[in-house]
C-alpha cells in the first residue's frame, strides 16, 4: 500500500474479525508493576505522570521544566542533569547489588561469560578511561560496528558515561553503508572487533571497517579480539582493546549531563538513498525506555531473567538490551549467534539453561520456529517463561497463537509492541497484568502516550475504520531531529498532518470495534524485512550501480517468513538483454548484498522490458506490488502507457532466491 491510498481503501481497513482474547493470569495481575490506574493517572495529568516516571532515575540536578514544546521540537526535563551509565550501572552497585548478574553471555560456539553489575561497572569505567586516552571528549561521535558480544554494550555505556554520542551500525552492513554513516556523523573514533561467529564460522568485520575508513576523519580504531583471525592493521591508528582498555584503572568518575545532551545517533532507512541519522537525547529517552521496560515486561529485578533476542545495532538493542533493562537492574541473556546454530532448538536450549522468564523476539523468528516444527520447543523445559514479547513488525494472529501455546505453555501474556527508531521506546502495547490480549493486536497506547488513527484529512476514524497512525502529543523518548538536517526532520515526520500538528508514523492501522489498534505495516516506500527497515531507493541505487542495469524499481511483497520480501523489477541495458537470465539474476542479487548488506538481497529479481510510470515519470509501485504478489491488476488509467503492464506480464524473466 502507498501513501496515496485513501483511508477508505480496503488496503487500510482489511482485517479479519478476531474474537479470541486472553485475560492476564491471576497471579501476574495481582502483583503487576503497573495496574489499570496508570491510564487514569496519565489522562488526568500527562506531564505529572511523566515526571513521576523520571523520578525512577537518579538525577544530580532536578529539571526546571517538564516539557518545552516548540513544534516539532521538544525539550523534556530541561535543566535536569543525569548520567545514563550511572543510572544503568553505578547506582545498582552503590545500592548493594554488585554481585547480581547483569549479563549471561553465550557465544555461538558455546563459550560463556557471566558479568555481574560490579564487573560491568569496572569494565565500563576502564573503557571510558581508554576512550579518554584515545582523545574522545564530550560531544565527539563514536562509531560502533560489532557483533553481539559484551564489549558492544560496554562501549555504548562508556560513550554515554563520557557524553560522547555513539552511533551503532549493524554488523551486517557493507563498507559503503558504514562509510556513509561515518561521514554523516563526522565520527572521531571507531570501535569494532576482528569479527564474530555467525552460523558456525568466524565472520570478519575489520576488513569492512578498513575499507569504510578510507578518506574519513576517524583518528583511532579500537579493536576487540573475538575470533582470533588475522586482520589488516594500520599502525598508529588501530589499537587492540585488550592492550588499551584492560590496563586502565577500574574507577571512573562520571560527569552529569543536561537532559537534552545527545546520547546517540542511530541511522535508519529513509525514502532517499541518504540514510537518516535519528538523534536521541538523554533524560527523556532514558525515562521512557526505563519505564516501558518496567511496565510492559513486568520485570522483577530480583527474580526475573530477561532475554531480548535483537541485535545491538538496531534500536531494540539500544532500548531493550542496554538502556531500559540495565536501568531497571535486569539480569539478562545476550546471545551472539543465530537461532539455528548449531541446531534449530538453540533458543529453547538457552531458555532452559538460564531459566529465562521474559522473552522478547520478532515475528520473523516466530514464523521460522513454526516452520521448523512444534516438536523442537517441546523437547525443552520452557516452564520458567511468564511474559512473551513481540517486536519489529505486526504479528499475524496465527504466529501469535503459536507463540502463546508452544512457547508460553498457553499461560503467558503476549505483549505485541509497536514503536520505531524514531519513537525511541514502546508506544503501543498491552500491559501484561491489565490487558485482555487479542492475537495480532498491539491494542492501546501506553499510559502517557497519545496515538490515534486518522483519515486523509487528519480526522480520527471511528471504531472499525482504517487509516494512518499518528501521535498527537509529544512523548519523552521522541527523536529530537535528524542529525544535521532539521528541515528534513520537519518534512519527513511533520508535514503530512502539519495543520493538526501530528507526527505521522508512516504506518497504516485499523481500529477494531472495541477501539483496539491493529498495525497494517508501512504506507511509504520503506520495506520491513525481518524487522529491518530498508529503503526501496537504497536497493534501486545499488542495482542501477551495476553496469548491466539501466533502471530498477523495488517493492516489498508479503512474505510468510520475513514479513516483507524484496522484489526488484530490472530493465537491462540494451546489449545485455540476452544471455543467461538466471546467472545474471544471481549476479545482481550478490551485487546488492555487497553494496548494502545481505539483509537487502532481493528475494526475487524480475527482468522486464519496461516499468509502469505516470505521465510525470513517477513509477507506480502499487501495480508492481500487484505483480509481485500475483494479484489482479489495479487501476492503470493514470499510466502514460496503460499497455505497459501487459508488456511486463508477458515479458518477465524471473529469478527467485535460492537461500
Read off the CATH number of the domain in which 543 is found: 3.30.300.30
pLDDT of residue 182: 97
Residue 209 lies in a domain: yes
In this structure, the answer to whether residues 363 and 252 fall within a common structural domain is yes
Q: Is 630 a member of any domain?
A: yes
322 and 199 in a single domain? The answer is yes
Between 496-500, 520-524, 601-605, the lowest mean confidence (pLDDT) is in 520-524
Tell me the mean pLDDT in the region 146-171: 97
C-alpha angle 267-273-275 in degrees, rounded to nearest 5: 10
Q: Which residue has the higher pLDDT, 541 or 258?
A: 258
Question: Residue 11 pLDDT > 50, yes or no?
Answer: no
**472 within domain boundaries:** no
pLDDT at 48: 98
Q: What's the pLDDT at 115? A: 98
Q: Quick one: average pLDDT of 264-289?
A: 89
- Give 614's pLDDT tier (boundaries 50, 70, 90): low
pLDDT at 273: 63
In angstroms, the CA 17 to CA 529 distance is 26
- How confident is the prediction for the chain on average, in pLDDT? 90
Rounded CA-CA distance 509/451 in Å is 11
Which of 145-149, 274-278, 602-606 has the lowest average pLDDT?
Answer: 274-278
104 and 229 in one domain? yes
460 and 556 co-located in one domain: no
pLDDT of residue 96: 98
Question: What value does the mean pLDDT take over residues 338-350?
Answer: 95
Residues 225, 298: one domain? yes
Q: How confident is the model at residue 602 (pLDDT cuts 50, 70, 90)?
A: very high
71-120 pLDDT per residue, tens: 999 999 999 999 999 999 999 999 999 999 999 999 999 999 999 999 99
Pairing of strands 73-78, 81-82: unpaired
Q: Same structural domain for residues 346 and 415? A: yes
d(CA 423, CA 444): 16
Average pLDDT over residues 381-389: 98
542 and 415: one domain?
no
Residues linked to residue 619 through DSSP beta bridges, in sequence order = 613
Question: What pLDDT is stored for residue 652 in this prediction?
Answer: 58
Q: What is the band of 638 on the pLDDT scale with cuts at 50, 70, 90?
A: very low
C-alpha cell at 458: 487528519
- Are 310 and 165 within one domain? yes
* Per-residue pLDDT at 655 exceeds 70: no
Identify whether residues 370 and 292 lie together within a single domain.
yes
Asked whether residue 518 is assigned to any structural domain, the reply reads no
Average pLDDT estimate for 126-144: 98
Output the CA–CA distances (angstroms, integers) from residue 37 to 292, 529, 581, in the order listed. 15, 37, 62
For the segment 555-588, what is each residue's pLDDT rounded down to a tens digit?
A: 998 888 888 899 999 988 765 555 578 899 999 9
Question: 53: number of CA atoms within 13 Å, CB side?
Answer: 35
pTM here? 0.84
What CATH code is carried by the domain that includes residue 384? 3.40.50.12780
Assess whether pLDDT exceeds 80 at residue 224. yes
- pLDDT grade for 409, boundaries at 50, 70 and 90: very high
pLDDT band at 396 (very low <50, low <70, confident <90, very high): confident
pLDDT per residue as tens digits for the range 37-85: 999 999 999 999 999 999 999 999 999 999 999 999 999 999 999 999 9
Is 443 part of a structural domain of the chain?
Answer: no
The answer to whether position 504 is within a domain reads no
pLDDT given for residue 323 in this prediction: 98
Q: What is the dihedral of CA 143, 146, 149, 151, to 10 degrees?
A: -30
Please tell me the distance from the alpha carbon of residue 388 to that of residue 410, in angstroms, as a whole number: 11
Are 456 and 536 members of one domain?
A: no
pLDDT at 421: 95
Rounded CA gap, 173 and 530, in Å?
Answer: 15
Rounded mean pLDDT, 241-261: 98
Q: Give the pLDDT band (50/70/90) at residue 283.
A: very high
Mean pLDDT over 14-40 rounds to 88
Report whether pLDDT(279) > 80: yes
Please report whether residue 483 resides in a domain. no
The whole-angstrom separation of Cα 323 and Cα 86 is 11
Confidence of residue 3 (pLDDT cuts 50, 70, 90): very low
Closest by CA position to 435, among listed 233, 298, 234: 298
Helix or strand (DSSP H, E) at 317: helix 315-317
Q: How many domains does the chain have?
A: 2
Range of the domain at 536: 526-656
Asked whether residue 492 is assigned to any structural domain, the reply reads no
- Lowest mean pLDDT segment, chosen from 407-411, 428-432, 509-513, 632-636: 632-636
Pairing mode, if any, of strands 526-529 and 517-522?
unpaired
Contact between 488 and 36 under an 8 Å Cβ cutoff? The reply is: no
Residue 14 pLDDT: 40
b/e burial code for range 379-399 (CB count within 10 A of at least 16 → b)? ebebeebbbbbbbbbbbbeeb
Least confident segment among 336-345, 454-463, 624-633 = 624-633
Answer yes or no: is pLDDT of 549 > 70: yes
Task: Give the model's pLDDT for residue 651.
Answer: 55
Q: How many helices (H) and strands (E) does the chain have?
A: 23, 31
Query: Is there a contact between 633 and 626 (Cβ–Cβ < 8 Å)?
Result: yes
**Which residue(s) pair with 504 in the sheet?**
470
pLDDT more than 70, % of the chain: 90
Q: Of all residues in the chain, what percent carry a pLDDT higher than 90?
A: 73
Predicted local confidence at residue 83, as pLDDT: 98
Q: Are residue 568 and residue 462 in the same domain, yes or no?
A: no
Pair (429, 562) in one structural domain: no
Question: Residues 287, 53: contact at Cβ < 8 Å?
Answer: yes
Amino acid at each position: 500500500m502507498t501513501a496515496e491510498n485513501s483511508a477508505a481503501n480496503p488496503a487500510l481497513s482489511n482485517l479479519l474479525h478476531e474474537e479470541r482474547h486472553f485475560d492476564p493470569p491471576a497471579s501476574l495481575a495481582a502483583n503487576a508493576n503497573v495496574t489499570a490506574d496508570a491510564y487514569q493517572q496519565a489522562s488526568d495529568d500527562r506531564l505529572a505522570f511523566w515526571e513521576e516516571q523520571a523520578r525512577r532515575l537518579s538525577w544530580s540536578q532536578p529539571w526546571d521544566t517538564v516539557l518545552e514544546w516548540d513544534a516539532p521540537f521538544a525539550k523534556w526535563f530541561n535543566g535536569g542533569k543525569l548520567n545514563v551509565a550511572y543510572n544503568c550501572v553505578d547506582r545498582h552497585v552503590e545500592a548493594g547489588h554488585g554481585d547480581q548478574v547483569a549479563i549471561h553471555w553465550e557465544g555461538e560456539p558455546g563459550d560463556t561469560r557471566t558479568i555481574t553489575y560490579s564487573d560491568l561497572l569496572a569494565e565500563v569505567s576502564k573503557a571510558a578511561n581508554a576512550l579518554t586516552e584515545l582523545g574522545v571528549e564530550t560531544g565527539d561521535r563514536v562509531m560502533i560496528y560489532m557483533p553481539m558480544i559484551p564489549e558492544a554494550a560496554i562501549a555504548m555505556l562508556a560513550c554515554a558515561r563520557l557524553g560522547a554520542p555513539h552511533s551503532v551500525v549493524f554488523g551486517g552492513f557493507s563498507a559503503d553503508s558504514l562509510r556513509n554513516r561515518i561521514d554523516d556523523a563526522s565520527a572521531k573514533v571507531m570501535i569494532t572487533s576482528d569479527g564474530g561467529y555467525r552460523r558456525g564460522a568466524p565472520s570478519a568485520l575489520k576488513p569492512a571497517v578498513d575499507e569504510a575508513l578510507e578518506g574519513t576523519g576517524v583518528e583511532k580504531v579500537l579493536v576487540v579480539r573475538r575470533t582470533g583471525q588475522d586482520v589488516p592493521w594500520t599502525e598508529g591508528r588501530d589499537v587492540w582493546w585488550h592492550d588499551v582498555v584492560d590496563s586502565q584503572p577500574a574507577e571512573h568518575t562520571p560527569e552529569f549531563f543536561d537532559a537534552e545532551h545527545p546520547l546517540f545517533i542511530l541511522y535508519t532507512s529513509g525514502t532517499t538513498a541518504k540514510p537518516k541519522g535519528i538523534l536521541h537525547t538523554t533524560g527523556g529517552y532514558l525515562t521512557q525506555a526505563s519505564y516501558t521496560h518496567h511496565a510492559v515486561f513486568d520485570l522483577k529485578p530480583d527474580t526475573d531473567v530477561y532475554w531480548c533476542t535483537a541485535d545491538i545495532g538496531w534500536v531494540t538493542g539500544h532500548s531493550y538490551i542496554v538502556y531500559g533493562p540495565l536501568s531497571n537492574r535486569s539480569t539478562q541473556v545476550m546471545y551472539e549467534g543465530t537461532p539455528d546454530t548449531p541446531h534449530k532448538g538453540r533458543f529453547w536450549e538457552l531458555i532452559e539453561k538460564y531459566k529465562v522468564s521474559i522473552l522478547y523476539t520478532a515475528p520473523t523468528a516466530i514464523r521460522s520456529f513454526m516452520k521448523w516444527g512444534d516438536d523442537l520447543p517441546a523437547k525443552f523445559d520452557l516452564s520458567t517463561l511468564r511474559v512473551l514479547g513481540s517486536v519489529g513488525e505486526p504479528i499475524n494472529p496465527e504466529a501469535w497463537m503459536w507463540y502463546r501455546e508452544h512457547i508460553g505453555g498457553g499461560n503467558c501474556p503476549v505483549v505485541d509492541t509497536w514503536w520505531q527508531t524514531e519513537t525511541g521506546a514502546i508506544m503501543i502495547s498491552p500491559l501484561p497484568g491489565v490487558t485482555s490480549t487479542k492475537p495480532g493486536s498491539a491494542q492501546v497506547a501506553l499510559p502517557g502516550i497519545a496515538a490515534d488513527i486518522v483519515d486523509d484529512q487528519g480526522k480520527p476514524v471511528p471504531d472499525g475504520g482504517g487509516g494512518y497512525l499518528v501521535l498527537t502529543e509529544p512523548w519523552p523518548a521522541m527523536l529530537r531531529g535528524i542529525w544535521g538536517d532539521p528541515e528534513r526532520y520537519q518534512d519527513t515526520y511533520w508535514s503530512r498532518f502539519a495543520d493538526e500538528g501530528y507526527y505521522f508514523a508512516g504506518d497504516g492501522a485499523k481500529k477494531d470495534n472495541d477501539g483496539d489498534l491493529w498495525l497494517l505495516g508501512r504506507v511509504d516506500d520503506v520495506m520491513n524485512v525481518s524487522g529491518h527497515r530498508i529503503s526501496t531507493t537504497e536497493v534501486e541505487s545499488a542495482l542501477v550501480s551495476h553496469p548491466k542495469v539501466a533502471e530498477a524499481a523495488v517493492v516489498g511483497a508479503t512474505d510468510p517468513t520475513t514479513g516483507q520480501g524484496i522484489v526488484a523489477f530490472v530493465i537491462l541495458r540494451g546489449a545485455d538483454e540476452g544471455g543467461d537470465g538466471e546467472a545474471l539474476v544471481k549476479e545482481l542479487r550478490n551485487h546488492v548484498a555487497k553494496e548494502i548488506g545481505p539483509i537487502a538481497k532481493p528475494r526475487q529479481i524480475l527482468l522486464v522490458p519496461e516499468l509502469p510510470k505516470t505521465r510525470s515519470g513517477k513509477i507506480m509501485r502499487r501495480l508492481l506490488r500487484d505483480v509481485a504478489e500475483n494479484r489482479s491488476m489495479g487501476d492503470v488509467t493514470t499510466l502514460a502507457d496503460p499497455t505497459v503492464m501487459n508488456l511486463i506480464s508477458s515479458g518477465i524473466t524471473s529469478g527467485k532466491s535460492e537461500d
